[in-house]
Chains A and B, each alone.
Chain A
Amino acid sequence: MNTKEQSFSPRGPVLVFSALIVLTLATVLLSGLDVGNTGALLIAMSVASVKAGLVLYFFMHLNHEPLIFKLFVALAFVTLATLFLLTFSDYAFRGIA
């Protein structure tokens, strides 16, 4: 990590931060809309995913990491998504809602 030459500029992180704030305010405002339970959940989770993506990609420097890091992260998220999907293959059809 010999990067002393690397100059310090807050511009990039501040831009990402601004985007995150805008998205936060947007999701708060959008939650006022009457779009039903599924719609509200869908909007909220989509915005949250975009925000999480920004943090992972820029703040956690995935953009500067080798491919293997990205593959690992993808594997972790795919695993989590699979667990959700298969668990709900039970609950969606059990008539509990």
Chain B
Amino acid sequence: MSEPAVKVEAFHHHDEEGTRLGFWLFLFTELLLFGAFFIVYGVYRTAHLNDFKIAAESLNTGIGTTNTIILLASSLTMVLSLNAMKAGRVKLAKSMLLFTMALGTTFLVIKGFEWNAKFAHHLFLQTSAAIAEGKGSPLLTPGPDMLPDGQVLFYGLYFIMTGTHALHIIIGVVWMGIVYFWISKGSINPDNAGVLERCGLYWHLVDVIWIFLFPLYYLVA
């Protein structure tokens, strides 16, 4: 195919509000994605109420509350970072962003310890390879110490839902790292803070999802 010599300028369409609206639409897909999880949780909670209550007892409310407060605080620092950026105080915005990343990481570390404790109690969903090696947890080996179905479902949902949430936190922290780098380079600046703003929206949505996960797993036992 012959390429003519004309070089046409690439089309630059920049619509900050439209981009933000589109990002909100993307957030809805995240919301509906977790919404499906919540439907599954709701159905199995109805079906296995007692097992869910017994299993939920094993989760530490103190740790859950701490993590909730950490995430809420990170949302605060995130919004302060954006406000500072909009007010032209780039340095403050950067340090607030660092705070947010630190809080997000703390959340992950605490979550990691919590998960680890559950693994130690064999409440993990072993892979079939582990069962073959005879290392299966009491969940899986048929026998008197096997957990009831409802509790297995509870832990299954607990791991997959908090796991998916943790994955979002990891993505958020990495994204913030990139944003931090761009702020340092100056490509994100008070006049062009759209990326920081969308990163913030994403982070707040992850927080909103945790706001619902927290009572469902740690409180209504």
Contact surface of A with B, Cβ cutoff 8 Å: 1-4, 6-10, 13-14, 16-17, 20-21, 24-25, 27-28, 31, 37, 40-41, 44-45, 47-48, 51-52, 55-56, 58-60, 65-66, 68-69, 72-73, 76-77, 79-80, 83-84, 87-88, 91, 96-97
Flag if B72 contacts A44 (CB, 8 Å): no
Given contacts A52-B211, A60-B201, A97-B49, contact A83 B35 (CB under 8 A): yes
Main secondary structure of the interface of A (DSSP, over half): helix
Min Cβ gap B184→A in Å is 19
Flag if B220 contacts A44 (CB, 8 Å): yes
Within 8 A of A (CB), among B169-220: 190-194, 200-201, 204-205, 207-208, 211-212, 214-216, 219-220
A79 CA to B36 CA, complexed, in Å: 12
Chain B residues whose C-beta falls within 8 Å of the C-beta of A66 in the assembled complex: 17
Flag if A88 contacts B42 (CB, 8 Å): yes
Given contacts A24-B65, A48-B212, A59-B204, contact A72 B24 (CB under 8 A): yes
Flag if A1 contacts B87 (CB, 8 Å): no
- B39 on interface, CB distance cutoff 8 Å: yes
Please give 15 more A-B residue pairs, beta carbons under 8 A apart, in addition to A17-B73, A24-B68, A31-B220. A1-B194, A4-B190, A6-B87, A7-B87, A14-B76, A16-B76, A20-B72, A21-B69, A24-B69, A27-B219, A60-B201, A80-B32, A84-B38, A97-B46, A97-B47
Of A10, A37, A73, which contacts B49 at CB under 8 A? A37
Interface window among B77-85, B130-138, B151-159: B77-85
Min Cβ gap A88→B in Å is 7
Residue of A nearest to B46 (CB): A97
Residue of B nearest to A72 (CB): B24
Min Cβ gap B28→A in Å is 4
- B31 on interface, CB distance cutoff 8 Å: yes
Min Cβ gap A17→B in Å is 4
A1 CA to B43 CA, complexed, in Å: 45
Flag if A51 contacts B65 (CB, 8 Å): no
Flag if B192 contacts A1 (CB, 8 Å): yes
- B126 on interface, CB distance cutoff 8 Å: no
Min Cβ gap B43→A in Å is 6
